[in-house]
Amino acid sequence: MATTEVTYSYIDESEELCRISLNLAEILADGSNWDTVVSNVGSSLALLGTGLSTLTRCNEYQSAIRSVRQKTDPSAPADVLAQREWVARMTYSDDVTGKLYRFDIPGPEALFLAGTDKVDMSTVGMLAFKAVFEAAVVSEAGNAVTLVRGIRSGKRN
């Protein structure tokens, strides 16, 4: 099954870009699901982007689906914790094959359980994001996915 790849780009406090790429449902040849996947306020693209933006201190710069681009003028956030080098490394699994995938949320908000490096998956924000994520994202094989866990991590420059 084909999928539609979406890439969300964020800018951190030092004006460096970072990206999150995920797969959404395939846009059908007749375009009948275009609004559901891409263009309306309740689309997978919009809901997932809003969910990600609530979990990062970085500013969203643009989102891209194949050749469709939504772009704003880049502006660095004032928050010194909005750093692409500090991430919440999220893991999700293909519900059919069990294959694991990951993506990083740059400059995460206070998502972690006190005294640990684990993302608290039980907060209102994470539960809401998990619901949107699992409704919108599919694996590269086109199967449903489950958001499994997240950990605090750093990225190398």
Q: Residue 157 has what pLDDT?
A: 47
What is the total residue count of the chain?
157
pLDDT of residue 137: 94
Give the chain's mean pLDDT: 87
Whether residue 94 lies inside any domain: the answer is yes
Residues of the chain above pLDDT 70, percent: 93
76 is a domain residue = no
Q: Is the pLDDT score of 92 beyond 50? A: yes
Domain count, the chain: 1
Q: Contact, 108 vs 57, CB < 8 A?
A: yes
- Give the tens place of pLDDT for each residue, 117-129: 999 999 999 999 9
**What pLDDT does residue 3 have?**
83
Instruction: Identify the band that residue 143 occupies on the pLDDT scale cut at 50, 70 and 90.
Output: very high
* C-alpha–C-alpha distance, residues 105 and 22, integer Å: 12
pLDDT confidence of residue 67: 46
pLDDT at 2: 77
pLDDT digits (tens, 9 = 90+) for 19-75: 999 988 888 888 898 888 888 888 888 999 899 989 999 998 888 876 454 556 778
Q: What domain range includes position 29?
A: 3-71+81-154
> What's the whole-number mean pLDDT along residues 85-113?
92
Instruction: Name every residue whose Cβ is closer than 8 Å to that of residue 41 and which is 6 or more positions away in sequence.
Output: none
